[in-house]
A = this chain, B = another copy of it.
């Protein structure tokens, strides 16, 4: 109760299974007394491209555009574009970040990757020697919740679903110092029965009831590749 949650949501269709998972999270967390904010990326027409437009005013080096350097400098002088600042404010205030999306190509959809690329700039989310356990998003929890196209067996066939969590969980959230909760994966909701879909929705709702008691995962390579 009193906790703040930001859900970054990347699906085009409110009636989708991802839309239902979002709705359940908003309802359950609100019921617990949490304050829930949703960044509905498609509805916001969120810009995924990292360009010069992300910097308001003059460039640090207009001769040779370097996105990392420019956004870092712009962050320090308060010169990032308003859409980035708005997202950073939401992140700053949140105790928990939930990313809700359908898996596209073993990864998050481009619109969500663009949110990572543009919002989590140097100075805000990490800094020189402030990464991993020293990252600037310390004291925040994060959770990747996604649906897949293929069945669980398909991912097990040539590897493990955890392999694809490494760049997201370790490379982004752990790098920024956020603690990572177990991912929440709904396998192939489009290919199971209505009954099983309902069970999946109930399972998400149930998990959320005790989410704040969960221990973060051990963020070592062994968790992913043991």
Contacts and interface: CB of A to CB of B under 8 A. Distances in A.
Given A50-B12, A166-B166, A225-B163, A107 B68 contact: no
A167 interface: yes
Interface in A108-147: 108-111, 113-114, 116-118, 120, 132
A209 B155 CA distance: 37
Interface centre among A104, A109, A116, A220 (most CB of B within 10 A): A104
A171 interface: yes
Nearest to A69: B190
A106 interface: yes
Interface centre among A114, A118, A190 (most CB of B within 10 A): A114
A212 to B, nearest CB: 27
A108 B64 CA distance: 21
Contacts of A52: 12
A116 B113 CA distance: 12
A82 interface: no
Interface in A15-51: 15-16, 42, 45-46, 48-51
Interface centre among A66, A67, A106, A110 (most CB of B within 10 A): A110
A120 B104 CA distance: 11
